[in-house]
Amino acid sequence: MKKLLAAAFCCTLTLGVSAQVTDWKIATKYDKKSAKEQLTKRFTHYVTFDTQSDPLATKVPSTPGQVRLAKELAKELKKYGAKNVQVSANAIVTAEIPATSNKPAPTVAFIAHMDTAREVSGKNVKPQTHKDYKGGDIVINAQHNIVINAQNSPQLAQAIGHDIITASGGTLLGADDKTGVSIIMTMVQYLYDHPQMQHGPIKIAFTPDEEVGTGVDKLDVAKFGADYAYTVDGGALGELTNETFTGKAFKAVFTGNRAVHPGFAMNSPFEDNVLMASDFHTLLPRQSRPETTSGHRGYIYLDIFQTQGDTTTVEGILRAFSDEEMNALLAQLNQALRTVKAMHNKGTATLEVTDEYRNFNEKLPPLMISLAQNAMTQEGIKPVLHAARGGTDGSILSFKGLPAPDLFSGQFNVHSEREYADVDVMEASLRTVLRLISLWGMQSKN
């Protein structure tokens, strides 16, 4: 073990020294102010595209606005020298940036999603920039009392002096994940404007329908041709997601004979399917609900309850970080169903469980994480390993053969009217990505 730790230390030290010899910021004379201006301009433009995804759609992309943004991004990629720019039938934008170094290096991809969440409208977003935040309340919309402050957004304490972008009320902002799209596109322009920066081959992908879990599955990983990838879809400064939930969905169907006059229900075939479903929900342990769990504890959540005639259907999700906990949650689910069957022997109850995504931690090569940590450290950013209480596109990609941890991108209060983007954190993410590109260019392709 000591030998392994020593080897890891030497590797880290070597990377740090090499980075200083060919420092990308010195070679390109990086200007933070200019970078922030570009990020702000791009982001405030991209959020005006209504790309809200539709969970009821049967096609990918689920909404036409995603196609419009995909075409806009493809046009911009070509403008800044990207090669082999394509928009697939599913509105997946892919491109490549050729290596500027003669050293054979791995091909690294950067990926972000174009769609926005379903909880709040993404139509007619009107961004507003609050420059040099001084602390206190940020009023998004005074008329509707939409405010972000230390009480509902405690992370604002870390944003003093930063530029904050919000919507103007009635919509979400689209920071999830148009911050990531803006960071990647600004990186593309930076490499175009600074051809003296040495790097290996780079791939780019902008994907649809991440919020409904159907878009990235349409990416042909083999054809895409990357060895490693990073999604840029995280939140706070330094956040490096190397773990996600494992997700499953369930559907329970309860059937009872309600075609009996309730006045004569006693001693009849009457069975109330609505009550069966209600009992099932009540029997699920309260200590396994979302509002009672945090950190590395998973949960059971019922989010659809529909009744039609003699049939009631409930649908929900299971989330856990480990197989052991997932099996425990499945046992709780099945125990509740068995109890309902025993309580309501005149009706029927069935349960179907399907896989959604898996914790991608086991699929991430240690080198990917150590290089990302090195990139942040060399940019003066403290890396923080993060276990996401959800899934990312990287969850799916990693099990398709393209390992893809997630990098911070400065998005906060996502999926709500209080959503905001922190431009200074976006700029730090841009520097991290550029440093990471430089570090990957020093690696040997196996």
CATH code, 311: 3.30.70.360
pLDDT for residue 392: 86
- 352 and 363 housed in the same domain: no
The vertex-41 CA angle with 35 and 46, nearest 5°, equals: 125
Domains identified in the chain, total number = 2
Where among 321, 340, 356 does a domain terminate?
356
Distance CA(291)–CA(8), nearest Å, equals 40
Please report whether residue 17 resides in a domain: no
> What are the b/e assignments for 371-381, b being 16+ CB within 10 Å?
bbbbbbbbbeb
Single out the residue of 206, 220, 200 nearest to residue 178, CA to CA.
206
Q: Does 258 reside within a domain?
A: yes
Q: Give dist(CA 29, CA 32) in Å, integer.
A: 10
What residues are annotated to the active site? 115, 210
pLDDT (0 to 100) of residue 229: 98
333/298 same-domain check: yes
> Interhelix angle for 175-193 vs 64-79, to 10°?
20
Same structural domain, 229 and 258: no
| Within a domain: 226 | yes
Euclidean distance between CA atoms 58 and 409, whole angstroms: 30
Shared-domain flag, residues 109 and 206: yes
CA-based angle 26:27:29, to the nearest 5? 60
35 and 137 inside one domain: yes
Spatial distance between the Cα atoms of 369 and 362, rounded to a whole number of angstroms: 12
Whether 14 is covered by a domain: the verdict is no
Separation between Cα atoms, residue 247 and residue 357, nearest integer Å: 5
Does residue 140 sit in the same domain as residue 238?
yes
How much of the chain is in helix, strand and coil states, percent to nearest 5?
A: 40, 25, 40
Burial readout 63-85 (b: 16 or more C-beta within 10 A, e: otherwise): bebbbebbeebbebbeebbbeeb
- Whole-prediction pTM value? 0.88
Buried residues in 237-274 as b, exposed as e (16+ CB within 10 A): bbbbbbbbbbbbebebbbbbebeeeeeeeeeeebbbbe
| Residue 55 lies inside a defined structural domain of this protein | yes
CA–CA dist 374, 361 (Å, integer): 19
Residues of the chain predicted below pLDDT 50: 1-21
Same domain, 124 and 271: no
Question: Do residues 90 and 152 share a domain?
Answer: yes
Tell me if 351 is assigned to some domain. yes
Q: Find residue 349's DSSP bridge partners.
A: 254
Same domain, 37 and 135: yes
Are 386 and 325 in the same domain?
no
pLDDT value of residue 22:
66
Quick check: is 1 in a domain?
A: no
Neighbours of 319 (CB within 10 A): 23
How far is CA 130 from its chain centroid? Answer: 25
Last residue of a domain, one of 340, 356, 372: 356
Domain that includes residue 399, residue range: 22-244+359-441
- Tell me how far apart the alpha carbons of residues 125 and 113 are, in angstroms, rounded to a whole number: 18
Report yes or no on 299 lying in a domain: yes
CB atoms within 10 A of CB 142: 9
Same domain, 32 and 169: yes
Shared-domain flag, residues 70 and 167 = yes
Q: CA 147, CA 355: separation in Å to the nearest integer?
A: 38
Last residue in a domain, options 356, 383, 400: 356
CB 126 within 8 A of CB 167: yes
CA dist., res. 78 & res. 110, Å (int): 17
For residue 98, give the CATH number of its domain.
3.40.630.10
